[in-house]
């Protein structure tokens, strides 16, 4: 893969696809990626400061942007935010979210103005691209305002990619969190311009490669989060399920064929309830993906065959509703009574996970073990984070929400070897799948 740092960029315009998909405060303590923003009546805070709940992804994008600017490039940043809704550009742009708060934050962090185009690759973007000079930076509006960005139709994506490519001389892919998407700005645009990988992408891939090539053992994986369906494929690989081996041929050297199995899999968060249900436990009103029970049962059997220890919660913190103000209550044992939902692992589970992590030499953690956004249900996430930070060896946290949770805990900067900006992307890498965005950057033609 070409490195952005090796590109000749003086007086050239570089299109940088970054991942600036930050969680935004919706006002009530809850968060939504890209939706909401400041509630009415809270306009007094400085623009761009109050609405971004965690600016980690913006900070992670700075090294590449700064390097290109310092070497005399004009930098046009392209990124998405949230999931704009609507059938066409106009509807989506009207509904938002706009990248305005991100542009403001990026300007603060860079210490220089960031022009925000009024559109993605239209008149406004063209005028900015044509008039900007060396050392200047601009941001295109939310690329997902363009329905073509995520189209399954190659031609439709290609048309947007051509408009994006026309804005610049060179392309740098640095949006690791979007690399698993076959999207116009990620997959098609780099094919139209001389391209290279940015520093963030190279750093992420270097760490993930370490995880997938003979990890020091014991190798312990902690998985949480809301849905088991998001993570079944990676779980299958970690326990050596034959059915989950990669279907795409691993053409590029950086992609593992069959990723190594884990020694232990600690399962928490919302997905744990589908596992507990599969084992015949009562889970009350906890989040359940009933249609996944068959697959979960298969995975548990595969794990037993492969000698991978699967550890499930042994107690819970429950409430009678999904709300920050709900009264937390500890339920001992694996069963949850009717009318209650599990929102965090209980203290005995935190202790158990701590013991299971104590002798680990490699740890990968994706997905918070509880609804950490609600302070009353964040103790399990803190306990897991602290246990992992005590591990000597390679410790990697992956996932947008997991990374935000970890930063919210204010652990020391060196608590983990690496905090990945990409959840889905890092999981797909661990599955041994080829990431479309990486494949496009590896292609030197």
Indicate if 424 belongs to the active site. yes
Q: Applying CB under 6 A, which of residues 56, 342, 346, 437 lies at the interface with ligand ADP?
A: 342
Which among 207, 69, 189, 206 has a CA at the least distance from the CA of 138?
69
Identify residues 300-329 at the interface with ligand ADP (CB under 6 A): none
Whose Cβ is closer to ligand ADP: residue 2's or residue 35's? 35
* Token couple for 366: 């994706």
Q: Does 34 bind ligand ADP (CB under 6 A)?
A: no
Q: Applying CB under 5 A, which of residues 401, 428, 431, 442 lies at the interface with Mg ion?
A: 401
Rounded CA gap, 406 and 372, in Å? Answer: 10
Whose Cβ is closer to ligand ADP: residue 224's or residue 432's? 224
271-290 mask for ligand ADP (x: CB under 6 A)? ----------------x---
Q: Which residue is nearest to ligand ADP (CB)?
A: 399
Which residues, other chains included, contact 352 with Cβ-Cβ below 8 Å and sequence gap of 6+? 311, 314
Region of 199 on the Ramachandran plot (φ > 0 left; ψ -120 to 50 alpha; else beta):
alpha
- Helix crossing, 379-389 with 347-358: angle to 10°? 10
Whose Cβ is closer to Mg ion: residue 259's or residue 422's? 422
* Token couple for 53: 């709940």
Indicate if 198 belongs to the active site. no
Q: Does 423 bind ligand ADP (CB under 6 A)?
A: yes
Catalytic position from the list 82, 270, 380, 424: 424
DSSP string of 392-425, one letter each residue = SSEEEEESHHHHHHHHHTT--TTSSSEE-S-SHH
Looking at the DSSP assignment, which residues form a beta bridge with residue 13? Answer: 74
Identify residues 343-382 at the interface with ligand ADP (CB under 6 A): 343, 366-368, 370-371, 373
Indicate if 57 belongs to the active site. yes
Q: Applying CB under 6 A, which of residues 399, 432, 436, 437 lies at the interface with ligand ADP?
A: 399
Instruction: Tell me the number of residues near ligand ADP by CB under 6 A.
Output: 20
Catalytic position from the list 57, 100, 181, 433: 57
Indicate if 111 belongs to the active site. no
Q: Applying CB under 6 A, which of residues 110, 134, 192, 226 lies at the interface with ligand ADP?
A: 226
Residue with tokens 């490195």: 3
The H or E element spanning position 220 is strand 219-223
Q: Phi and psi for 229 in degrees, rounded to 5?
A: -60, -30
Q: Does 56 bind ligand ADP (CB under 6 A)?
A: no
Rounded CA gap, 391 and 12, in Å? Answer: 45
Q: Does 400 bind Mg ion (CB under 5 A)?
A: yes
Catalytic position from the list 175, 398, 400, 423: 400
The angle formed by the CA atoms of residues 88, 18 and 256, to the nearest 5 degrees, is: 110
Which among 176, 27, 22 has a CA at the least distance from the CA of 104?
22
- Residues forming contacts to ligand ADP in the complex (CB under 6 A) are 224-226, 230, 269-270, 287, 342-343, 366-368, 370-371, 373, 399-402, 423
Interface residue list for Mg ion (CB under 5 A): 400-401
Residues recognised as catalytic: 57, 227, 400, 424
């Amino acid at each position: 893969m070409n490195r952005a740092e090796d590109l000749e960029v003086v007086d050239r315009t570089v299109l940088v696809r970054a991942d600036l998909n930050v969680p935004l405060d919706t006002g009530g303590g809850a968060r939504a990626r890209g939706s909401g923003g400041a509630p009415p009546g809270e306009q007094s805070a400085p623009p761009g400061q109050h609405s971004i709940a965690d600016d980690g992804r913006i900070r992670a994008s700075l090294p590449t942007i700064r390097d290109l600017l310092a070497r005399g490039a004009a930098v046009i940043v392209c990124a998405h935010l949230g999931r704009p809704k609507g059938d066409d550009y106009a509807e989506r742009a009207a509904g938002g979210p706009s990248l305005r708060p991100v542009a403001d934050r990026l300007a603060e962090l860079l210490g220089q103005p960031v022009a925000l185009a009024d559109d993605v690759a239209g008149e406004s973007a063209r005028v900015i691209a044509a008039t900007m000079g060396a050392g200047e930076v601009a941001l295109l509006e939310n690329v997902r305002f363009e329905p073509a960005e995520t189209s399954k139709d190659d031609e439709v994506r290609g048309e947007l990619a051509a408009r994006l490519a026309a804005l610049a001389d060179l392309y740098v892919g640095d949006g690791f969190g979007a690399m698993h998407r076959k999207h116009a700005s990620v997959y098609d645009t780099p094919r139209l311009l001389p391209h290279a990988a940015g520093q963030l992408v190279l750093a992420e891939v270097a760490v993930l490669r370490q995880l997938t090539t003979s990890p020091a053992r014991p190798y312990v994986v902690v998985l949480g989060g809301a849905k088991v369906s998001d993570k079944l494929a990676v779980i299958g690989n970690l326990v050596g399920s034959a059915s989950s081996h990669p279907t795409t041929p691993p053409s590029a050297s950086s992609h593992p064929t069959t990723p190594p199995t884990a020694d232990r899999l600690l399962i928490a968060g919302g997905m744990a309830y589908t596992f507990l249900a599969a084992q015949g436990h009562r889970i009350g009103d906890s989040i359940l993906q009933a249609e996944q029970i068959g697959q979960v049962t298969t995975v548990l059997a595969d794990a037993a065959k492969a000698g991978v220890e699967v550890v499930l919660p042994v107690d819970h913190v429950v409430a009678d509703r999904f709300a920050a103000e709900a009264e937390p209550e500890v339920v001992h044992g694996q069963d949850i009574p009717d009318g209650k939902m599990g929102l965090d692992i209980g203290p005995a589970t935190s202790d158990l996970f701590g013991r299971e992590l104590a002798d680990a030499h490699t740890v990968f953690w994706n997905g918070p073990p509880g609804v950490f956004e609600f302070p009353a249900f964040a103790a399990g996430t803190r306990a897991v984070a602290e246990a992992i930070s005590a591990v000597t060896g390679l410790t990697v946290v992956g996932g947008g929400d997991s990374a935000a949770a970890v930063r919210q805990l204010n652990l020391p900067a060196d608590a983990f070897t690496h905090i990945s900006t990409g959840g889905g992307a890092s999981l797909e890498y661990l599955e041994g799948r080829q990431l479309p965005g990486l494949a496009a950057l590896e292609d030197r033609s």
